[in-house]
Amino acid sequence: MGNNLNISIFGLGYVGLPLAVMLSKYFNVLGYDKNIQRIKDLKSFLDKNNEVSYKDLKKTKLKYSTDIKDLKNSDIFIVTVPTPVTRTNKPDLKPVLESCKDIGKIIKKNSIVVFESTVYPGVTEEICGPEIEKYSKLVSGKDFYLGYSPERMNPGDKLHTVDKIIKVISGDCRKTVLTLKRIYGKINSNKIFIAKDIKTAEAAKVIENTQRDINVAFINEITKLFKKIDINIFDVLKAAQTKWNFLNFKPGFVGGHCIGVDPYYLAYLAKRKNISPSLILSGRKVNNNFPIFLADFINSKISRKNKILILGLTFKENVSDLRNTKVIELIKSLKKKGHKVYVNDTYADLNEVKKLSLKITPLNKKENYDTIILAVAHDDYKKLKYSFFSKKLKKNGKIFDLKAIWINKKLPKKIEYKTI
């Protein structure tokens, strides 16, 4: 393939948009998304995910479309659509299969289809390839080619961006691998790792997130234990971190569309192969139950029904994404105990919040509360001043700082401050 490659990116979310913008500096890139409003926003230089700035969107050469026919001249298709789970925590491959169907209808011979979406090993070649064949009447490995390059985007992280991280690539033949090496190498100064094969690359991705899930689950579980004997987990971690090889994980909510989901893909494969995914699923169980533990802990420290303000609703700090946020479980649990709960989030999209049957309480609203709970460590909350707490909290009010971001902050004298 020549230098003037036509590349199409399927899905312009947290993964697809930054990748598309970066690739458009070197290639002809068309960003495709079925969400008409998303495309309208991007054409107005607005990324509601806050991953790409107004300035970068304004100067990009990236083109946009919601019409699949516009992609018919593509040499490379890169699929970055979500891979969620069903209500029963089974892999939901519908978004990926829809992409395969769309690509199959327009793909031309000698094109390459690359998947970045997280899947279990085997999906690219055993499910996606045949799906494209079905609609294209072409043969995988002969008329078109498959690749897999796991995304490693960390929403809200401005250090480990797509141009700075090592990119794992794999393909169904040497020619595919060399083409992907040239494409991805352009945007990250050739920081490329070539995996042995596609299944290996798929496996590497799914264990990256599963490993993190299990590590956080361990910290969450010992947090529960240490609460029983009145030890503060953050004090413990501060001491343990002095050992050179201690892994620095902290307690908290594990939600979102990756770490809170991907272990189920690995567990699904394990069950199909008659392997019991006991450790994988125990990690999920601990992390899913942690918000309920926190609600019980907070409730045990409150003597009556409280008016509570929760700070933070998104699944992690400094992002607007509400998918699979575990703060919802905390809110529900506290409400069940009779407390009146209000929530603020300085990043969440108001329309998305409404879909959760919630509304955002502005911080400048003249209200005061019995209790403030810090649930998500947005930078905006780290900057809150002494005056905020003195105005917002009633006399003898309580603060539950679940992320320990105010541990050294000067607070009003009669305020009771607790971490977990």
Catalytic amino acids? Answer: 258
What one-character-per-residue DSSP string does 225-283 give? HHHHTT--HHHHHHHHTTSTT----------TTTTTTHHHHHHHHHHHTT---HHHHHH
Distance of CA 298 to the CA centre of its chain: 27
- In contact, 261 and 85? CB cutoff 8 Å: yes
Residues 6 or more apart whose Cβ sits within 8 Å of residue 326: 253, 254, 255, 260, 287, 288, 290, 291, 315
- In contact, 243 and 210? CB cutoff 8 Å: no
Strand-pair partners of 308: 341, 371
Distance between CA 8 and CA 30 in Å, rounded?
5
Tell me the two tokens of residue 23.
């690739």
Residues 6 or more apart whose Cβ sits within 8 Å of residue 143: 109, 110, 136
Burial level of 138, CB count in 10 A (0-12/13-18/19+)? middle
CA nearest 373: which of 299, 288, 303? 299
Tell me the two tokens of residue 110.
């000698």
CA nearest 273: which of 141, 399, 143, 121? 121
- In contact, 324 and 349? CB cutoff 8 Å: no
Distance between CA 347 and CA 51 in Å, rounded?
12
